[in-house]
A and B are shown apart, each in its own frame.
Chain A
């Protein structure tokens, strides 16, 4: 539709893949011990580890998802950036150094360091696998989605390429190769995103988003209509669906001119109506989809995103010219930007999704409320919002694939310093996401049916070369995050379950072999999941991963560190309750009810984000069970380091 397959993108991606594979085979020759395989020998420099943290953490969800959300919902999308970054402060102040001090290869080691409890080993390993698989599925599906427009290959090929490459990366040198893949990916992501933002600022804001004179932006029309004898009359057009139709009842009309149908948004004017051009997707009874009345390949469905008015010092201007970062936001605030609303009209078995223009003041876009219900919201809406922000805050420091990076550095001071580098790199990137999102919003590049490609398409407006670089980088982004997830999962299976829980007492070489075999099996499962979930919007699974990690893992980690009376039974029960309560609440939430094909208002619970209930439930469980098992359980002798 809007995408261009680029040989440069294919070439760059192949180069990156060959580079990381070469690096993995090189490092594999130096990785023969379990310490080397699971923790990169514990001698990674803190700066390298900090950037690798960024490469591990900034998944496709951050790069593509957040930019797309900001491009369509403004500040509300950026709130995810703020929440994700804030979570790193929990990691720095409370978790980083104790995690390094107590653990060896996996975060289960740290939880179990003072207990040697089978129950903790089992529950923490299950929690690691659940969180990692939830995180893994959207990455794999995302790889398949990316490969279609970028490389012109089918979905399953993309999934297989990522699955096989990542499995090789992890199965050859484990954490050593994973670290360097994440380091290069993190560094490239920061550099390339900075370049795009620099170009966005240099271009400035304008009312004609002609994409650098390379592509004509669709000029949206406005028509005048009159009502004669109760029916709508539009000069030059035949009215297909008028005021009394299902379209009319929703505030739209369908017109026809030379056999081509168009949909228009009705606005009452002094005399009759003003009709504002809309976009529409028609889903027929047999599942066929038409975009603006034609098949996708016809290219009649165009990119959107433009500014209606820019006001500077009380005067309207067409173009700001180059602006600085703060001036960009200032000018944006004083502009009127055309956002897009969405409505559904059902006629018989045909459903039409209509995207209509919503001119919105920039100052309204740069405040919360376009995505989250916070204006005139009920108590439940506010609870839902606060619960989501709590999950983002508490989830980061409990993600197993992030925590295992603490074992790759030589000391607690290095763990701390690498977290600070991560905060600087991730914080900087999240500032860039605001400019990337607003840049896409105003440069006519948004595919309104799928905003995930907003950042690469913004790059396309600056030329094919930058698009190719950003696109191949988006694909490489998946590689970095998935390799971290597979290392975490392989550690949970080989180290936590096989070696510790089942007591297989493997030799050092045996542990490495078990890790490699586990990585290959998990890689195979990841490929399978990526293929069977094709076509499903599974990005919500990342949200699940955060909610489950925040509920199941964080209370256990913090209470072990800071509460002397925590017992093994209390910790294991807390993980179990956090895991099951967060998952259970998600499964009966209104969002899931929609996915089951039911009405959201019929869902047993009225909120989507479980963290504000499941985290306290997990903490309470730990306290109650620990107090009940003081004599039976092994007590923590020391708290926070007291």
Chain B
């Protein structure tokens, strides 16, 4: 069998914790993303409304991109802390 990592990995005691917060954050982002998709599909005219000088479509699009990065950084922070604590 040619399976198993290409480099030797140590046991990761934080894996269960990381998986748990990963799933939680995945659901948060998925809901936000599909909220965007559903508004576009069901009420596209709403996306033309202007808030803070921009259309809701542009604001929501930027939010999805920036929110992705923010969540990713928060996720990494918790994961790194858990790795330091548990390994």
Contacts and interface: CB of A to CB of B under 8 A. Distances in A.
A367 interface: yes
A641 B36 contact: no
Contact of A104 (B4, B57, B65, B79): B4
Nearest to B47: A367
Nearest to A366: B55
A642 B29 CA distance: 23
Contacts of A416: 75-76, 79
A423 B69 contact: yes
Interface band, chain A? 35 or more
Interface string B56-69: 11100110111011
Interface residues of B, number: 52
B2 A412 contact: no
Interface in A412-471: 412-413, 416-417, 419-420, 423-424, 427, 430-431, 434
Given A41-B6, A90-B26, A93-B22, A500 B55 contact: no
B2 A75 contact: no
B65 A333 contact: no
Contacts of B53: 326, 330, 333
Interface in A349-375: 363-364, 366-369, 372, 374-375
Interface string B1-45: 111111101001001101100110110011001001110111011
Contact of A93 (B45, B55, B62, B75): B75
A358 to B, nearest CB: 17
Contacts, number: 180
A386 B25 contact: no
Main secondary structure, interface of B, reads: helix
Most chain A CB inside 10 Å of its own CB: which residue of B2, B26, B29, B53: B2
Nearest to B80: A413
Nearest to A330: B53
A607 interface: no
B33 A413 contact: no
9 contacts: A35-B6, A42-B6, A89-B30, A90-B26, A97-B18, A97-B22, A333-B50, A382-B42, A385-B41
Interface of B: 1-7, 9, 12, 15-16, 18-19, 22-23, 25-26, 29-30, 33, 36-38, 40-42, 44-45, 47-48, 50, 53-58, 61-62, 64-66, 68-69, 71-73, 75-76, 79-80, 83
